[in-house]
Amino acid sequence: MSAETTPRHAALTNPATDATIADSRKPAVIRPLKASDVDGLALLTQELLAFYGLPARNQRSYMAHVMASELFERDSNLKVLIAETSAGLQGFVAYTEVFALASCQRSFFIQDLFVTRRARASGVGASLMAELVRQAEECGVEQIDWTADPWNEKATAFYEKLGPLLKSDKILYRLAGASLRRSMQDQKL
């Protein structure tokens, strides 16, 4: 998403005010992640991995331990909002705040937005996005960016309902694992 072509706050419309996205009842309490929530977050991330057909490489207890360390013991830029109902955690949005040099503005980049299978279409995702929009406005953030898998039609339909979106023709590149190590060796980084 290009900041230069996005009108100020165009992507920051509040989805909770749009009756087609969320009704007047709030399906879940949306709040920042607490250290006591990391076991539940680890369970959600295991369900996220399963949704993408990926194996969980680590046990939930190990994932929770690493999450607690990275999110609460280090100076992490990753922020997590969770959706909680009486049935437990139903979803989360993980995001970072970045500063774009070219546009001289701060933005949020969503790493993951995930809602459990049983809570989809209940308004949990819209509530998570509404809280993220509220926080963006409160912090003076003028843009929220994220990626979506083109095959995930339900997700793209949800995102289309959020308001005016500028789609990018950019390609996402990633170096990870063996290719990252190989690139570092090849480039002598």
Query: Could you give the CA distance from residue 73 to residue 139 in angstroms, rounded to a whole number?
Result: 23
**What is the predicted pLDDT for the residue at 174?**
72
Task: Report helix, strand or coil for 11.
Answer: helix
Give the count of beta carbons closer than 10 Å to the beta carbon of residue 31: 12
**What is the predicted pLDDT for the residue at 15?**
41
CA angle 135, 140, 146 (to 5 degrees): 60
**What is the predicted pLDDT for the residue at 9?**
34
Averages of pLDDT over runs of 10 residues in the chain (189 residues) are: 34 38 58 95 93 87 93 91 92 94 90 90 89 93 86 84 74 75 69
* Residue-by-residue DSSP string for 139-179: HT--EEE----TT-HHHHHHHHTTS-------------HHH
Query: Could you give the CA distance from residue 98 to residue 157 in angstroms, rounded to a whole number?
Result: 26
pLDDT tens digits, one per residue of 73-105: 988 889 999 999 888 999 999 999 999 888 899
**Contact (CB, 8 A) for 188 and 180:** no
| Structural domains present in the chain | 3-187 (3.40.630.30)
**What is the predicted pLDDT for the residue at 164?**
65
Q: What are phi and psi of 124, to 5 degrees?
A: -65, -45
The set of residues, in sequence order, having a beta carbon less than 8 Å from that of 115 and lying 6+ positions away, is 83, 90, 91, 124, 125, 128
